[in-house]
């Protein structure tokens, strides 16, 4: 697929004409940054027991849980950098053609790429929260060589500030997702199977409100046969590069200053 592919062109046109585009991302967008997804080939659950992220198990065995959590989410994933797909979304936001990003990911890579209107539906691993007093600490301020980490204010147990199985979704992210489903006219769904409840509902809800669903995934997801309008079959970086070329290159060719005068500027 190239920028001249009819589906890439259709997707670019839909985004250009849209008044509010929402990016809706899952683990797949970060696979090319070196973070495996949970499910599927090479997924985390082929190596680890999902009970690792169960809140009851964490509370029962904080030291044991933290040892594995540190190994996976901090020693290994902590070194991941944003890839071209994250950077292009940030660029689209800057140019005013992407209203917000709702991510199921906990890796902070959208923010590191420069996106600012990001809602972490399942929280964020780069923060730790005290289960006793509620204080929040950036992970860089906490010594993870001593496990389990404790709160420097009250001595309570610290937990990664992402949503464990059995916990509720952060209120702000939930409202942002409902709002996005009602005000968007394009949903750009990247790298998600659509299996995790309740996150998986929002593309369906948005579709009921008449959005165009553009989906990027190397394989079909639950959304593809049901609600996807334009399926860009492939990896996030390659498809986003094609899309970016289709969105930005025509205007750059016409305009020597590099200012994209063809794009309607809108956003939040």
Question: Under the rule (CB under 6 A), what is the footprint of ligand NAD?
Answer: 26-32, 35, 37-40, 43, 104-107, 122, 191-193, 195-196, 199, 216-219, 221, 235-236
Residue carrying structure tokens 């939040």: 268
Min dist CB 33 to ligand NAD, Å, is 8
Min dist CB 16 to ligand NAD, Å, is 23
Min dist CB 187 to ligand NAD, Å, is 14
Residue whose CB is less far from ligand NAD, 38 or 178: 38
Residue whose CB is less far from ligand NAD, 27 or 130: 27
Residue whose CB is less far from ligand NAD, 150 or 221: 221
| Alpha-carbon gap, residue 185 to 194, rounded angstroms | 20
Burial 54-73 (b: 16+ CB within 10 A, else e): beebbeeebeebbeebbebb
Residue carrying structure tokens 């769904």: 189
Residue whose CB is less far from ligand NAD, 28 or 99: 28
Min dist CB 15 to ligand NAD, Å, is 18
Min dist CB 120 to ligand NAD, Å, is 9
* 8 A C-beta contact, residue 77 and residue 60: no
The Cα angle at residue 223 between residues 188 and 193, in degrees rounded to 5: 85
Nearest position to ligand NAD, beta carbon: 28
Residue whose CB is less far from ligand NAD, 46 or 255: 46
Query: For the packed helices 236-254 and 6-17, what is the interaxial angle rounded to 10 degrees?
Result: 70
The closest alpha carbon to 109, from 32, 194, 16, 8, belongs to 32
| Alpha-carbon gap, residue 241 to 140, rounded angstroms | 32
Residue whose CB is less far from ligand NAD, 242 or 260: 242
Residue carrying structure tokens 């009970």: 51
* 8 A C-beta contact, residue 85 and residue 32: yes
Neighbours of 12 (CB within 10 A): 23
Q: Which of 57, 86, 110, 122 is catalytic?
A: 122
Q: Beta partners for 210?
A: none
Q: Is 76 a catalytic residue?
A: no
Query: For the packed helices 171-183 and 201-208, what is the interaxial angle rounded to 10 degrees?
Result: 30
Min dist CB 72 to ligand NAD, Å, is 10
For the annotated catalytic residues, the residue numbers are: 122
């Amino acid at each position: 697929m190239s920028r001249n592919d009819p589906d890439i062109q259709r997707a670019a046109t839909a985004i250009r004409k849209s008044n509010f585009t929402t990016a809706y991302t899952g683990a797949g967008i970060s696979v090319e940054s070196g973070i495996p997804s949970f499910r599927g080939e090479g997924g985390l659950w082929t190596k680890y027991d999902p009970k690792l992220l169960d809140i009851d198990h964490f509370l029962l065995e904080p030291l044991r849980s933290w040892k594995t959590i540190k190994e996976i989410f901090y020693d290994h994933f902590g070194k991941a950098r944003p890839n071209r797909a994250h950077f292009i979304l940030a660029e689209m936001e800057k140019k005013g053609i992407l209203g917000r990003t709702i991510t199921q990911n906990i890796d902070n890579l959208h923010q590191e790429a420069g996106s600012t209107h990001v809602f972490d539906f399942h929280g964020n691993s780069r923060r730790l929260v005290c289960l006793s007093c509620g204080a929040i600490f950036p992970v860089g301020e906490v010594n993870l060589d001593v496990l389990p980490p404790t709160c420097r204010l009250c001595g309570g147990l610290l937990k990664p500030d992402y949503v464990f199985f059995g916990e509720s979704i952060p209120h702000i992210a939930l409202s942002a997702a409902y709002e996005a489903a009602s005000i968007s006219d394009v949903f750009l769904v990247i790298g998600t199977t659509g299996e995790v409840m309740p996150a998986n509902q929002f593309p369906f809800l948005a579709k009921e409100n008449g959005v165009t669903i553009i989906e990027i995934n190397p394989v079909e997801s639950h959304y593809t046969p049901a609600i996807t309008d334009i399926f860009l079959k492939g990896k996030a970086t390659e498809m986003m590069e094609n899309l970016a070329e289709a969105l930005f290159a025509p205007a750059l060719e016409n305009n020597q200053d590099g200012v994209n005068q063809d794009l309607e500027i809108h956003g939040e």
